[in-house]
Structure 1
Amino acid sequence: MVFYLWLIFAMLLFSLELFLPGLVLAGFGAAALLVTLLSVLHLPLSLQWLAFAGLSLISIPITRPIARLLTHLEPQLANVDYLISKEGVVIETIDGARNSGRVRVETEDWRAESDRRIPQGQRIVVLEVQGNRLIVSPRDWGEEETDELLS
């Protein structure tokens, strides 16, 4: 009978782990599963609980590094930061004096600024995003690539 109680307890812990990040209950579930096997030896219940507590404590330093490895995610860039270093084309001449113009990067049109004049059709690379403007620099490439982006 005790065997089944430990087994149900282990399965409950593993089931709850599905809803929690970071392997919080996995170590406890593993400890309960091991105690399930120990319960076959008909040890006193107090020893089974002691074994569960000890195995749970041992599981913590084992599961923490595994959880860190599994949950280590690359930092996601803020909304438009992905545009930095992307290439595009000038669709409205960027005037260095007025510091304004428009560029197309991927499928989106953006206001753009540069420290120099960049004519329409010129390829650019995005250096920085400031609010709703892109800071760009000219990039010299063939015209067929530029025509492709303008269409």
Structure 2
Amino acid sequence: MFEWLLENGWILWLVLFLGLAAVETLTLDLFFVMMAMGALAAMISTFLGAAFFLQVIIFCVVSLLMVLVVRPVALKHLKRGSPDQLSNVDRLIGESALTLDIVTGESGTVKIGGDTWSARTLDGSLIPAGERVAVTRIDGATALISAPARPQAADSGAV
């Protein structure tokens, strides 16, 4: 069995490569993919006729270099956004919404960026359909809204 493995070492490295790549798809932390690259390098060295102990050394060295050199650079590029960048529903806060029907402190619906949300007012006031409102908070699947301050009409008093 051991002799067969030495003669067909590429199968060992291929299985290790595929296994590490599969684990990476579950963890997504760019660690196991670096080790998979080490297994790929060891598999290539098998085809070039390297001895098994040299294949193991190549696996270890390439994996270590990938983890220490390539992974930090890759993580930096993946996390390029600013730390205060909002995601998911947090980015909806402060957005403008259009009331689709009457919104009260109990119920209503609004359209936010093309999506229809259930809504209610923060202060329990009544906002008629067709009004532009501001999203103040998201509570589960409900947008809590408030009517934006209406601009005062300029006095055109003629004397």
TM-score range, shorter chain: 0.5 to 0.7
What CA distance in whole angstroms lies between the structure 2 residues aligned with 1:121 and 1:54?
Answer: 66
Give the gaps of 5 or more residues in structure 1: 94-99, 141-151
Query: In 2 relative to 1, CA 121–38 (structure 1 residues): closer, same or farther, beyond 3 Å?
Result: closer
What CA distance in whole angstroms lies between the structure 2 residues aligned with 1:5 and 1:29?
Answer: 12
Query: In 2 relative to 1, CA 104–11 (structure 1 residues): closer, same or farther, beyond 3 Å?
Result: closer
Query: In 2 relative to 1, CA 118–34 (structure 1 residues): closer, same or farther, beyond 3 Å?
Result: same
Listed as ranges, the matches of 1:2-21 within 5 Å are 2-21=9-28
Give the TM-score taking structure 2 as reference length. 0.57
Selected match of 1:91 from 102, 110, 124: 102
What CA distance in whole angstroms lies between the structure 2 residues aligned with 1:121 and 1:6?
Answer: 64
Query: In 2 relative to 1, CA 137–53 (structure 1 residues): closer, same or farther, beyond 3 Å?
Result: same
In structure 2, the residue matched to 1:48 is: 55
In structure 2, the residue matched to 1:125 is: 133
Point out which structure has higher relative CO (alpha carbons under 8 A, 6+ apart). 1
Percent sequence identity is: 16
TM-superposed deviation, 1:2? 1.8
TM-superposed deviation, 1:55? 0.2
Listed as ranges, the matches of 1:1-150 within 5 Å are 1-60=8-67, 61-67=69-75, 69-70=77-78, 75-78=87-90, 82=92, 84-89=94-99, 91=102, 104-106=109-111, 107=116, 108-113=118-123, 120=128, 123-126=131-134, 128-129=136-137, 133-138=144-149
CA RMSD of aligned residues (A): 3.9
